[in-house]
Amino acid sequence: MKNKHKLFSLFLLVPLCLSACADERDFSSISKIEEIASNEDYILGVDLSSIIEVENAGGVFYDFNGKESDIFSVLSESGINYIRIRLWVDPFDEDGNSFEGGGNDLETDLEIAKRASEAGMKVLLDFHYSDFWADPGKQIIPRAWEGQAGEELYRTASEYTTSVLEAFNEVGATPSMVQIGNEINNEWICSLKGEEFYSFVGECASAVRSYDPSIEIALHLAMDQSINTLVSSFNGFISHDIDFDIIGLSYYPYWHGSLSTLDSNLSKLEESFDKKICIMEYAYGYTLDSSEMSFNTSNIFNKSCERNGGYEATPTGQALCIYDINKTISSHKSVIGSFYWEPAWLGLEGTSWASSDAFTYQRVNGLDTNGLGTCSWVNQALFDYNGYPLESLKTYNIMKGIS
């Protein structure tokens, strides 16, 4: 997920959230959701991939009493039970400078996973099979794998997958779930399409299953396509005998339509497949004001997103969005939960979506070189610009029936 707004046509922005901008509800309208409160396995997760980079840049976090606290403890005490982490193969330039965006190489991810496990949270590992961002608009083969093809490339990816899982196991943080690729729409991963795409995904999924059959395998697509296209995509995986457990989806209300559309899409997927379903990414803005930012920012979430998303860009609006999405999806028996994307990505020097050191990588691959060095997600965090938790973070415990 990065600059995904450039990937969607305007017709995707027309449907509004069921709770339109005229929504007059306040925070007190958020209440226990029985389907969540009665299911201790329901995932209330967050993607915390940028956290080491944020802390290294001087970011600190506080609990609801205003005391400086460990971010993992704050999240766990707020009802979060699962941490999602993206993994890149080699997110550095030839001189070893980080591309930023979290700098999620193996060493960084092991630290995140270990801290999450120590805080009592499960881990979802998101293999991008790329050196940097992978999404519906780009799926670039790692530079070290260039020149490989066919069985050689599949073997490299399979062995890489196994070695990563071994490393996580060695630090006592074996993932409970993995994604084979990130938003692999359009039959595209690691620069491969068509039959090569399916062979690659199948080999990597088999590597996970062979290493540890208890690890659940997810295949993740963004909901930027029609439901018929999504059904066709997952039918493609099944027809190619790819072993997976979970249908993963990205759903951003300001890009992917109304809650009623989400609801009907989930029903169609349930009718079509005997698989679990999980929302791998969602988020919403809590402010449009960047005047308190201490570092250069160019936030993706803007007035247009607020208008299309249907909630006010306030902590209450953000909380209502979190609540409504989870209330909608938890009514479906196949849905196992959701992950909020990057709730702690503070805007500090050294925490951009892509650093200036990523310029050559971006240019060579025909990608966006505008805005390098800027922060773009800060106003969708669940902490304010200074690391204090927003009221919206309390939504998770409320949904679980914990006051």
Active site residues: 183, 281
Q: Is the dihedral of CA 153, 195, 206, 330 positive or negative?
A: positive
Instruction: Tell me which residue has tokens 């979506």.
Output: 353
Sign of CA dihedral 274, 330, 2, 174: negative
Residue with tokens 């029985």: 34
**164 near 125, Cβ under 8 Å?**
yes
**Can you tell me the distance from the alpha carbon of 108 to that of 58, in angstroms, rounded to the nearest whole number?**
16
Distances (CA, A) of 310 to 215, 306, 314, 324: 37, 6, 12, 12
- At 113, which amino acid appears? A
Burial profile 354-377: b = 16 or more Cβ within 10 angstroms, e = fewer: bbebbeebbeeeebbeeebbbbbb
3-state secondary structure of 16: coil
Distance between CA 215 and CA 210 in Å, rounded? Answer: 10
Cα distances (angstroms) measured from residue 311 to each of 171, 256, 320: 41, 14, 8
Q: How many residues does the chain have?
A: 403
DSSP3 helix / strand / coil % (the chain, rounded to 5): 40, 15, 45
Cβ atoms within 10 Å of 6's Cβ, excluding its own: 9
Q: What is the DSSP string of 16-34?
A: PPSS-TT----GGG----H
Could you tell me the two tokens for 362?
A: 């971006």
Residue located via tokens 């990597």: 204
CB–CB of 77/63 below 8 Å?
Answer: yes
Q: Distance between CA 298 and CA 392 in Å, rounded?
A: 23
Residue 308: HSE in the Cβ half-sphere, 13 Å Cα cutoff:
21
